[in-house]
C-alpha cells in the first residue's frame, strides 16, 4: 500500500496510449493524455486510421492525435499502464502500427 502511495507516474500531456482487447477478435483503441492533475491523468479516446491490410482478416492501424472521441476520463496510474476496465489497460504506444481484426472479419 505504501508503495502505491509513493508511486510517481511519468505521463505527460500529449502522450498516446494503446489498448488491445477482445475475444475471438482483436480490437485496438488509442487514447491521448489531455491533462495531468497531480497523481491523476485525464485521457480521451482518439480516432484511428487503417494503414495496411484493409479488407483482409488483419489490418494495421495508427492513431489520429487530437481527433477526440467521447468525454475525458480521469485515471490514477499505479504502474506504466492505466487500468481502463476489467478487460483492458492502456499502455504507452511505441509509435508502430498496431494489428487488429479486419472490418467484416469479426467487427
pLDDT at 43: 98
Could you read off the pLDDT of 40-97 as tens digits, one per residue?
999 999 999 999 987 788 999 999 999 999 999 999 988 899 999 999 999 999 999 9
pLDDT at 50: 94
* pTM strictly above 0.85: yes
Give the mean pLDDT of 21-50. 95
Q: How confident is the model at residue 104 (pLDDT cuts 50, 70, 90)?
A: confident
pLDDT at 38 over 60: yes
Could you read off the pLDDT of 8-22 as tens digits, one per residue?
889 999 999 999 999
3-state SS track over the chain: CHHHHHCCCCCCCCCEEEEEECCCCCEEEEEEEEEEECCEEEEEEEEEEEEECCCCCEEEEEEEEEEEEEEEEEECCCCCCEECCCCCEEEECCCCCEEEECCCCCC
Amino acid at each position: 500500500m505504501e508503495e502505491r502511495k509513493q508511486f510517481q507516474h511519468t505521463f505527460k500531456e500529449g502522450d498516446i496510449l494503446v489498448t488491445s482487447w477482445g475475444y475471438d477478435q482483436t480490437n485496438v483503441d488509442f487514447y491521448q493524455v489531455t491533462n495531468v492533475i497531480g497523481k491523476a491523468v485525464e485521457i480521451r479516446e482518439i480516432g484511428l486510421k487503417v494503414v495496411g491490410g484493409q479488407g483482409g482478416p488483419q489490418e494495421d492501424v495508427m492513431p489520429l492525435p487530437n481527433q477526440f472521441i467521447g468525454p475525458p476520463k480521469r485515471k490514477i496510474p499505479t504502474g506504466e499502464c492505466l487500468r481502463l476496465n476489467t478487460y483492458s489497460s492502456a499502455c504507452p504506444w511505441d509509435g508502430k502500427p498496431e494489428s487488429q481484426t479486419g472490418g467484416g472479419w469479426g467487427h
